[in-house]
Amino acid sequence: MDIDIFAIFQSLFNGFANSSFFAFIKILAGFIIAILLIADILLLSKRIRGDWKIVFHGAKVPDLKKSKYIERWESIKSNAESGDESKEKIAMIEADQMLGETLEKIGYKGKDTGERIAAVKPGQLIGLEEVKASRVVFKKIVRDSGHEISSPEIQAALEGYEKVFRGLELLD
């Protein structure tokens, strides 16, 4: 006599799967899942009622309008690419101001851009080292307005600022 164990298990499974008891278990599991989903949604909405930025980012993140930064950066770049030395210097000053304002909005304290950059810890800001090098060029321009500076040097310095803005996802 040959016993087909596979057929026995298959008939037992089919009998259980088609039983009213299993249908009750499936309906009960569906209700439990629905209740848990509703509870999760209610708990999440209760948590979000405060400030959704703190919920999703872990800290208060200011509203930085990307379009305004792109527009302002394009203006700075056009001044820098004008070929006029005074406009290039103005572009450097504007880029530094823009960085200072951005760092202030993000929450770094200090009375000027230099102090705010000093408050940034390594690894907190993409392009931190590059912008520190760019600040050297900026300081030369501010301290001595007659200081001659080459266009490639200004372009390289602006790339440092641009790297920070890209790291903050303010520029494309």
CA distance 101 to 65: 13
Residue positions counted in the chain: 172
Alpha helices in the chain (DSSP H): 5-17, 20-48, 52-57, 66-80, 85-106, 113-119, 128-143, 151-167
CA distance 155 to 83: 11
pLDDT value of position 113: 86
Angle, CA 79 vertex, CA 73 and CA 82 arms, to 5°: 140
Report pTM. 0.64
pLDDT value of position 49: 57
Name the DSSP class of 120: S
Q: Which of 168, 161, 172 has its CA nearest to residue 76?
A: 161
Tokens read off for 127 = 């392009």
Tokens read off for 117 = 């950059």
pLDDT value of position 59: 47
State how far the alpha carbon of 104 is from the alpha carbons of 53, 85, 95, 123, in Å. Answer: 18, 29, 14, 18
pLDDT value of position 16: 82
pLDDT value of position 24: 92
Name the DSSP class of 59: S
pLDDT value of position 51: 55
pLDDT value of position 37: 93
Query: What type of residue sits at position 165?
Result: F
Tell me the per-residue pLDDT of 48-91, one tens digit each, with 9 for 90 and over. Answer: 555 555 555 444 556 677 888 889 999 999 988 888 888 888 88
The residues spanned by each domain of the chain are 5-57, 66-167
Which segments of the chain have a pLDDT < 50? Answer: 57-59
Name the DSSP class of 52: H
pLDDT value of position 61: 52
